[in-house]
């Protein structure tokens, strides 16, 4: 079962009495809850037949009473429990799930975690309800997911712009969606999203960002690396050291892992990195530094991460730490 399949069923007026939505990715749960709240019933039907509860404030008896009511002037009613993971005594809904009312659509949003499968409620849900468990997308799936969203707006996005957007925002689907929608609104008469559009409308500099710093280090371009670090000093939110060091560590650890493989062919880099640009830069880094050089970089990143949080450091500014780090890397 998927979000698309559930919504398709709802559009066809095909409903199960209970939908249990849980898992690690709140974006998909929010999509279904939003549709259930605003689309299953018409506006006039919703005034009498929509009940919304919030987990922290809801008690199980009130929810069950709402579910047991019959709809007024409509074929069905909708009962939503948002943030259900915070609801006390949620296991007491088991009795209703065992024998639900056919004219009620109960949607439970149990976000960012899963119900303990050993409970009686979990067993009853498995037999009686539609259970949809969400999972975070892998980082390697994000570019394709963003491309599909861009296509829904009848737009295309060039590879570098896609890389800049995905790498900067990361695995935050709601924010990625918001930024794509922002681009769609602002691109009047333009069909291709470029890195210039990403910079203008989202505020991610195409020249001064952690990924350009990554590439500068890979190419042993000290002057470029220092320019980017100085930009970060003037614009602290653009490149905090708490973002830079983990990103660099992730990047070089992938290269380090590839060096341990029987083959360091291009295909190994393409499978480890999201796009051809990053794969090409990573291959350059491998050739430039070699096994011992990459290992040295990993150790330096660990050392400077400790210094950035005050271990073995008396309060050196982040900018100075970063300049010192890249000089030692390229030495």
Interval 93-146: pLDDT, tens: 999 999 999 999 999 999 988 888 888 999 999 999 999 999 998 887 888 899
Q: Work out the burial of residue 289: count CB atoms within 10 Å of its CB; fewer than 13 is exposed, 13-18 middle, 19 or more buried.
A: buried
Q: Which of residues 106, 134, 162 is at a domain's end?
A: 134
In this prediction, residue 264 carries a pLDDT of 82
- CATH code of 255's domain: 1.20.272.10
In tens, the pLDDT along 231-287 reads: 999 888 888 898 899 989 989 999 999 988 888 877 888 777 767 778 888 888 999
How many other CB atoms sit within 10 Å of the CB of residue 80? Answer: 21
Interval 3-15: pLDDT, tens: 999 999 999 999 9
Q: Strand 50-54's sheet: what is its strand order? A: 50-54, 77-82, 104-111, 18-23, 130-134
Pair 8, 125 in one domain: yes
Do 262 and 144 share a structural domain?
no
- Domain endpoint, select from 134, 159, 184: 134
43 lies in the same domain as 166:
no
Give the structural domain span for 86: 3-134
- What's the pLDDT score for residue 199? 87
Cα 3 to Cα 26, 50, 119: the distances in Å are 12, 21, 25
Same domain, 46 and 22: yes
pLDDT tens for each residue of 211-228: 889 989 999 999 999 999
Query: If you average pLDDT over every residue of the chain, what do you get?
Result: 91
Number of domains in the chain: 3
């Amino acid at each position: 079962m998927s979000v698309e399949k559930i919504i398709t069923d709802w559009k066809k007026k095909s409903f199960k009495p209970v939908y249990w939505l849980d898992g690690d990715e709140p974006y998909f749960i929010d999509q279904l809850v939003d549709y259930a709240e605003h689309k299953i019933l018409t506006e006039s039907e919703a005034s009498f037949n929509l009940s919304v509860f919030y987990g922290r404030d809801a008690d199980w008896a009130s929810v069950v009473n709402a579910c047991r009511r019959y709809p007024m002037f409509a074929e069905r009613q909708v009962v939503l429990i948002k943030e259900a993971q915070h609801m006390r005594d949620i296991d007491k809904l088991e009795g209703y799930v065992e024998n639900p009312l056919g004219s009620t659509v109960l949607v439970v949003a149990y976000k960012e975690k899963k119900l303990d499968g050993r409970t009686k409620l979990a067993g009853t849900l498995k037999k009686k309800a539609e259970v949809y468990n969400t999972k975070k997308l892998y980082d390697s799936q994000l570019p394709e997911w963003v491309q599909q969203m861009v296509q829904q707006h009848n737009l295309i996005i060039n590879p570098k712009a896609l890389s800049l957007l995905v790498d900067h925002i990361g695995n935050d689907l709601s924010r990625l969606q918001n930024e794509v929608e922002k681009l769609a609104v602002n691109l009047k008469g333009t069909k291709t999203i470029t890195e210039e559009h990403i910079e203008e409308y989202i505020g991610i500099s195409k020249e001064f960002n952690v990924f350009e710093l990554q590439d500068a280090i890979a190419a042993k371009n000290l002057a470029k690396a220092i320019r980017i670090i100085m930009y970060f000093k003037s614009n602290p939110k653009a490149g905090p050291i708490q973002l830079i060091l983990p990103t660099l560590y992730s990047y070089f650890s992938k290269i380090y892992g590839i060096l341990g493989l029987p083959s360091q062919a291009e295909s190994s880099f393409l499978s480890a990195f999201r796009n051809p640009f990053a794969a090409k830069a990573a291959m350059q880094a491998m050739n430039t530094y070699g096994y011992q050089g990459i290992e040295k970089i990993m150790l330096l990143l660990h050392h400077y991460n400790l210094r950035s949080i005050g271990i073995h450091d008396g309060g050196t500014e982040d900018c100075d730490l970063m300049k010192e780090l890249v000089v030692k890397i390229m030495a």
